[in-house]
Structure 1
Amino acid sequence: MRFLICSFDGLRPDLISPELTPNLCRLQSLGVTLANHRTVYPTETRSAFPSLVTGATTNRHGMVGNKYVDRSVSPPRYIDTSDAVLLRKLDLESGGKLMSAATLGEILASEARSLAVLATNTPGTTRFFHHKAEDVGHVRLSGHFREACTADALAEAEAGVGPLTPVPPNIEPDKAGQDWITSAFLEVVWPRYRPDVTILSYGEPDVTSHFHGTGAEATRGIIAHCDRQFGRVLDWWEAECRAEGVQIIAVSDHGHITGHTRASVIDSLRDGGFRPGIEPAPEVDVVVVPGQAGALYLAEPTEEQIARLVATITEQPWCGPVFTRTRNGIDGIAPGSLGNHLVFADHPRAPDVSFSFRADDGVDPFGLIGGTFYDNDRRAGLGVHGGLHPKELAAVGIVAGSAFSATAGSISAVPSGICDFVPTILYLLGIAQPDGGMTGRLLTELLADASKPEVRSEAFEARIGNFTQVLRRIQVGSTRYIESGLAEG
């Protein structure tokens, strides 16, 4: 039995349709759609994909955001995880502990099995899929970035399908990269290596959504293009490999909502008497990590300063749910905040205060639900993600193949998440999970003779002044998923 995971970065499940994505719909007809499938918090790519490959939430693997402040060194340093060379350096410096949970590639290598990665995401994201590929002799290929590729595989791929494609400008949808990785998989990696597990990651429609809008014509165009490339893979699977026991899993790492009102966190904090900056410096008393998932690191993170910081941001119209380290198992140490363990973000790298921008259920110009405040230099009306709106948390999940016994074309309403795929793959391969690392569950409802698990809901609330936030989660057996986090006041 072998597995192929096909990922579509930033694809909202409600954009799958017969007109736009006929091949993903074809996969749905051949398999099972996970209708209540979710990602992790923060809903950022380089938190979510580490969760995919570790089967664990952020608090276990330690990738607390696309960017974070590393306070394990003196002086603290700002880390941008899009940099594949930096990630390699950090892993070597830490004695192989870049991530604090074992990854799928490491686990497979320990069992003399293989993982191949082909991706058009950023160099750092591509490395995250299998950050030790060069150490264990596995394949990792980027459609654009040589520094993210393993050397031998790159040489073979370029000989077989041509040179790496140049990175297009952000305003231009990336078609050539998707074509290249699809061809490299079908013509080189599968015939040459036949990996036990392959991750084929299309880096779109994420970038196009950020620069054109989630429902824009350009975004719909690149979704359709990625679907056509996936159609080549699905044709191969149906003609050659379905009967050989290859299982297909289609995923996305998060959804998008639309930024409608620009805000400035730095200006708000400066008005509140802080000395903010975007990276550690002697004159900075609070680092505001750039991005749509709010991360604030204090130079002196006393309980008093954390409470002052929370009081300042909860007075702002842009402030959504707020989290600090826990006081009592529910509340955070600052009034008005919830404990960051409730969103599975309580890692040593976690910020002193994390927050989401305030989101709502407004309908954007493309007819899509979900709007939010945002903090970047782009115009309103573009796609963003990182927070706790249900449409940011919603992710694609479709499975097909002989291992999944549910009726073809069926829908599973049982809640599931991005952390659940690796535990399920390992179970089907007969490989034991590492002790204590994974938080995802075995998707028993998709397997033979499965009983439907018990599902329960829970909610947590915190207030300060006129600010109120509510976090909703859902529990399947002992596994918990985040449904939403919203604030008002």
Structure 2
Amino acid sequence: MSNANHFVIVSFDGLRPDLIDRRLTPNICRLQDAGVTLAQHRTIYPSETRSAFPSLVTGATSSRHGMVGNKYVDRTAKPHRYIDTSDAVLLDRLNRESGGHLMTAETLGEVLAANGRSLAVLATNTPGTTRLFHHKAEAFGHVRLSGHFREACTPDDLLAEVEDRFGFLPEVPPKGEPDIAAQELITSVFLDLVWPRLRPDVTILSYGEPDTCSHLNGTGAAKTRAVIAFCDQQLGRVIDWWEAEGRKVGVQIVIVSDHGHITAHSRVSVGESLRESGFAPGTAPAAGVDVIVVPGQVGALYLTHPASTRLARLVETVTAQSWAGPVFTAPKNEVEGTAPGSLGSHLVFADHERAPDVYFAFRADDSVDPFGLVGGTFYDNDRRPGLGVHGGLHPKELAAVGIVAGSAFQSSGAASHIPSNICDFTPTILHLFGIGQPACMTGRVLFETLDRRAPRLDLPATPEVFEATLGRYTQIVRRLRLGSNIYIEGGWASS
């Protein structure tokens, strides 16, 4: 019987695993020495924050939970509406309007509450991301605290006490400056208030950096490295508490990131490319717009009037561009998408009713940026080249941090080379609590990390390769199959 009584999940938004080292992140390394590092750990597609963190808390891909990107078009509304999931107030309204089905899979918070347990969230991400960690916290009287945004906080009396004891929530720092104060605040609130008083069964402590700094300074820039080091120091405070107190009462620690970053090198305009091919693109539903180009690094195209001929012409237009990476449409069969030249979106577990008519990743490569980091890509935003982006299928975008430590896990400081991804943590937590895994979860229990009395996973991972062509355009998606679980290795295109 496991003595896992509590879990603390510490997240570093956008941290590439290859940025972890003993000089920059001594405390992450300290935890690695105490537990197991998931050396073949990945995120999901789209590799965006507000798709990946819902996968963390649902143990499922976006095909199940429905957060199909940081932004999407709601075509169930009349008229259609553009949804930016960074808006916590909007997400609350959508959840109420849908009768509690903002996410179309059960979440960790819901499962814990149904079993008499609690989830607390303390996060410095966008208000929408903070809400998505536990979008029904109000219904269960659970804690959800933002380091910046009052509209994402609950309950009100806890927020009042936080501001009385620790000061008002800090303002978001000027654009491009590291977000320091909020990371320290949420760590202090957990250590000095939430844990001593409430002892949540699971706590998510989510640092919104280094993601923001990477986007605005570069993934290996001095400011980005500085904020990584600062967040690592905050983790050090948590580990000090764990070694002095938490470990004795069965606290397990999990370190995660939601995705990696690669470097933007060639700016393009998707909208302009479509316009030159005879489409009338826009960034939101509007009169005269025939294809909505959802802003962001994830290519998401919604046709105003979907039809097979228009879909085929749209895919033909996209695949003819130098910036086009892998392209997906709704599945036609086990491999192909509905439109010629595309792969089925089910191959990357992105086939949800909210999904766009066409998903695409920008074409990426293994170029080395000025900071010595591998991975470059085309991009479509108003920022200069050389900054961090994510959302696609380059292995460095999909690579994510996964470390587990505590009495339930092996303590050899070993690395597991068995594939895993962000969907696997919640099934593992529920298993260690003795709670059954809901059918909607696609993740698995990380048996290979548990103590030596636990069942072992000895199956070899089987490679899978899928290919589609259209004229000179060719795309490949590689996956690994481990029993009934499948992990995406990456996607590439050439022409």
Q: Same fold (TM over 0.5)?
A: yes
Segment of structure 1 superposing worse, 156-165 or 316-325: 156-165
* 2:131 corresponds to 1:131: no
Cα offset, 1:215, TM superposition: 0.3
Amino acid at match of 2:368: V
Q: Which residue of 2 aligns with 1:275?
A: 280
Question: 2-side partners of 1:420 and 1:65: how far apart?
Answer: 20
When normalised by structure 2's length, the TM-score is 0.98
Q: Which residue of 2 aligns with 1:455?
A: 461
Q: Which residue of 2 aligns with 1:258?
A: 263
Q: Which residue of 1 aligns with 2:10?
A: 6
Q: Which residue of 1 aligns with 2:122?
A: 118
Question: 2-side partners of 1:112 and 1:143: how far apart?
Answer: 27
* 2:440 corresponds to 1:437: yes
Question: 1-side partners of 2:280 and 2:167: how far apart?
Answer: 51
Q: Which residue of 1 aligns with 2:199?
A: 194
Correspondent of 1:225 among 220, 230, 242: 230
Q: Is the 8 A contact 2:405 2:411 kept in 1?
A: no
**Per the alignment, in what secondary structure is the counterpart of residue 199 of structure 1?**
strand
Cα displacement string for residues 176-229 of structure 1 (whole angstroms, at most 9, x for unaligned residues): 010100001001100110000000000000000000000001100000000001
Question: 2-side partners of 1:4 and 1:39: how far apart?
Answer: 19
Question: 1-side partners of 2:483 and 2:338: how far apart?
Answer: 29
Question: 2-side partners of 1:152 and 1:415: how far apart?
Answer: 43
**Per the alignment, in what secondary structure is the counterpart of residue 381 of structure 2?**
coil
Question: 2-side partners of 1:59 and 1:337: how far apart?
Answer: 18
Amino acid at match of 2:321: Q
Correspondent of 1:419 among 413, 423, 431: 423
Q: Is the 8 A contact 1:445 1:453 kept in 2?
A: no
Cα offset, 1:475, TM superposition: 1.1
Correspondent of 2:480 among 471, 474, 477: 474
Question: 1-side partners of 2:334 and 2:79: how far apart?
Answer: 32
When normalised by structure 1's length, the TM-score is 0.99
Question: 2-side partners of 1:293 and 1:232: how far apart?
Answer: 36
Cα offset, 1:333, TM superposition: 0.9
Correspondent of 1:318 among 314, 318, 323: 323
Question: 1-side partners of 2:157 and 2:493: how far apart?
Answer: 51
**Per the alignment, in what secondary structure is the counterpart of residue 204 of structure 1?**
strand
Q: Is the 8 A contact 1:357 1:387 kept in 2?
A: yes
Cα displacement string for residues 396-455 of structure 1 (whole angstroms, at most 9, x for unaligned residues): 000000011x24210000000000000000010011122x21000011111234322331
Question: 2-side partners of 1:449 and 1:196: how far apart?
Answer: 22
Aligned length: 487
Q: Is the 8 A contact 1:293 1:355 kept in 2?
A: yes
**Per the alignment, in what secondary structure is the counterpart of residue 167 of structure 1?**
coil
Q: Is the 8 A contact 2:301 2:358 kept in 1?
A: yes
**Per the alignment, in what secondary structure is the counterpart of residue 207 of structure 1?**
helix
Question: 2-side partners of 1:11 and 1:350: how far apart?
Answer: 26
Amino acid at match of 2:73: V
Q: Which residue of 2 aligns with 1:373?
A: 378
Cα offset, 1:152, TM superposition: 2.2
Q: Which residue of 2 aligns with 1:64?
A: 68
Correspondent of 2:404 among 390, 396, 399: 399
Question: 1-side partners of 2:75 and 2:454: how far apart?
Answer: 48
Cα offset, 1:170, TM superposition: 2.2
Cα displacement string for residues 152-178 of structure 1 (whole angstroms, at most 9, x for unaligned residues): 221222223222111112211100010
Q: How does 1:307-386 map to 2 (within 5 A)?
A: 307-386=312-391
Is there any run of 5+ residues in structure 2 with no aligned partner, and where? none
Question: 2-side partners of 1:183 and 1:121: how far apart?
Answer: 17
Cα displacement string for residues 362-412 of structure 1 (whole angstroms, at most 9, x for unaligned residues): 1000000000000000000000000000000000000000011x2421000
* 2:292 corresponds to 1:287: yes
* 2:297 corresponds to 1:297: no
* 2:38 corresponds to 1:38: no
Segment of structure 1 superposing worse, 159-168 or 200-209: 159-168
Amino acid at match of 1:189: V
Distance 1:2 1:486, change over 3 A: same
Question: 2-side partners of 1:170 and 1:34: how far apart?
Answer: 33
Q: Is the 8 A contact 1:160 1:188 kept in 2?
A: no
Q: How does 1:73-222 map to 2 (within 5 A)?
A: 73-150=77-154, 151-222=156-227
Question: 2-side partners of 1:14 and 1:470: how far apart?
Answer: 25
**Per the alignment, in what secondary structure is the counterpart of residue 459 of structure 2?**
coil
Cα displacement string for residues 126-174 of structure 1 (whole angstroms, at most 9, x for unaligned residues): 0000000011100000000000000122122222322211111221110
Q: Is the 8 A contact 1:51 1:419 kept in 2?
A: yes
Segment of structure 1 superposing worse, 441-450 or 295-304: 441-450
Question: 1-side partners of 2:35 and 2:454: how far apart?
Answer: 17
**Per the alignment, in what secondary structure is the counterpart of residue 169 of structure 2?**
coil
Q: Which residue of 2 aligns with 1:24?
A: 28
Amino acid at match of 1:43: S
Amino acid at match of 1:443: L
Q: Which residue of 1 aligns with 2:449?
A: 446
Question: 2-side partners of 1:271 and 1:193: how far apart?
Answer: 59
Amino acid at match of 2:172: V
Cα offset, 1:46, TM superposition: 0.1
Cα offset, 1:282, TM superposition: 1.7
Cα displacement string for residues 326-345 of structure 1 (whole angstroms, at most 9, x for unaligned residues): 11110001111000000000
Is there any run of 5+ residues in structure 1 with no aligned partner, and where? none
Cα offset, 1:73, TM superposition: 1.2
Question: 2-side partners of 1:27 and 1:158: how far apart?
Answer: 31
Question: 2-side partners of 1:115 and 1:410: how far apart?
Answer: 29
Q: Is the 8 A contact 1:161 1:187 kept in 2?
A: no
**Per the alignment, in what secondary structure is the counterpart of residue 336 of structure 2?**
coil
Amino acid at match of 1:463: T
Cα displacement string for residues 59-90 of structure 1 (whole angstroms, at most 9, x for unaligned residues): 00000000000001111000000000000000
Amino acid at match of 1:49: F
Q: Which residue of 2 aligns with 1:486?
A: 492
Question: 1-side partners of 2:482 and 2:165: how far apart?
Answer: 46
